[in-house]
């Protein structure tokens, strides 16, 4: 399954580069819009399997560990939760203005691709995914309403925190008096890391 997931990510990344090279990034944005509606059913599969930023961030995270670059917690000014929405408005406005006034299709996705890599060299991937990414702001909103998502069988969960530790999106928390894991569908991008590491097979992709 790991190899299949990586192949899917590589293929979508190659498609993104092809569209970028041919000046057809708007087609990719159209794909993103479609993914928002799919998120209402399947969750944030775009972020986990399609997004070129996430694909590069996985490699960047591996590189930062190899280079032993210190990973810091999120800056305080990001934690209010509004920054990604502000950036989304700015990004859309910049694209529209550049198109209308200068007749230029600004490759805004390429810009954010570079930003995502730079942030991941210094911070945990969840910092960019959850607090900065303008596309993630929309995915979180639609993902919150998803019909299917990863969920925890509390009867089987032993509160070992292995899933919490392996989740790069900070989508899992072990909470409550009984110390059971809970997955936030708005943050979960439906990878299989938590499901694979669970010693009790308590995590499955199913209807909420």
At 182 the pLDDT is 95
- Structure tokens of 114? 């570079």
Q: pLDDT tens digits, residue range 126-184?
A: 999 999 999 999 999 999 999 999 999 999 999 999 999 999 899 999 988 889 999 99
180-183 and 148-152 beta bridge pairing:
unpaired
Share of the chain above pLDDT 90, in %: 72
Q: Which helix (H) or strand (E) holds 180?
A: strand 180-183
Q: Is the pLDDT of residue 192 over 80?
A: yes
CATH class of 148-207: alpha beta
Q: How confident is the model at residue 190 (pLDDT cuts 50, 70, 90)?
A: very high
Domain with CATH 3.30.70.20 in the chain: 148-207
Q: Are 89 and 138 in contact (CB under 8 A)?
A: no
Q: What is the DSSP string of 114-156?
A: HHHHHHHHHB-HHHHHHHT-HHHHHHHHHHTT-SEEEEE-TTT
């Amino acid at each position: 399954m790991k190899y299949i997931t990586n192949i899917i990510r590589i293929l979508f990344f190659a498609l993104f580069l092809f569209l970028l090279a041919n000046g057809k990034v708007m087609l990719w944005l159209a794909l993103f819009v479609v993914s928002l509606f799919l998120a209402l059913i399947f969750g944030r599969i775009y972020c986990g399997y399609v997004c070129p930023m996430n694909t590069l961030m996985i490699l960047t995270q591996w590189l930062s560990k190899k280079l032993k670059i210190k990973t810091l917690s999120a800056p305080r000014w990001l934690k209010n939760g509004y920054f990604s929405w502000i950036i989304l408005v700015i990004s859309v406005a910049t694209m529209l203005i550049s198109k209308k006034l200068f007749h230029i299709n600004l490759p805004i996705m390429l810009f954010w691709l570079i930003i995502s890599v730079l942030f991941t060299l210094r911070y945990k991937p969840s910092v960019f995914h959850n607090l900065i990414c303008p596309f993630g702001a929309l995915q979180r909103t639609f993902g919150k309403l998803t019909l299917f998502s990863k969920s925890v069988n509390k009867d089987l969960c032993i509160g070992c925190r292995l899933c919490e530790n392996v989740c790069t999106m900070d989508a899992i928390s072990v909470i409550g008096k009984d110390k059971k894991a809970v997955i936030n569908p708005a943050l979960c991008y439906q990878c299989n890391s938590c499901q694979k590491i669970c010693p009790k097979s308590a995590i499955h992709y199913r209807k909420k």
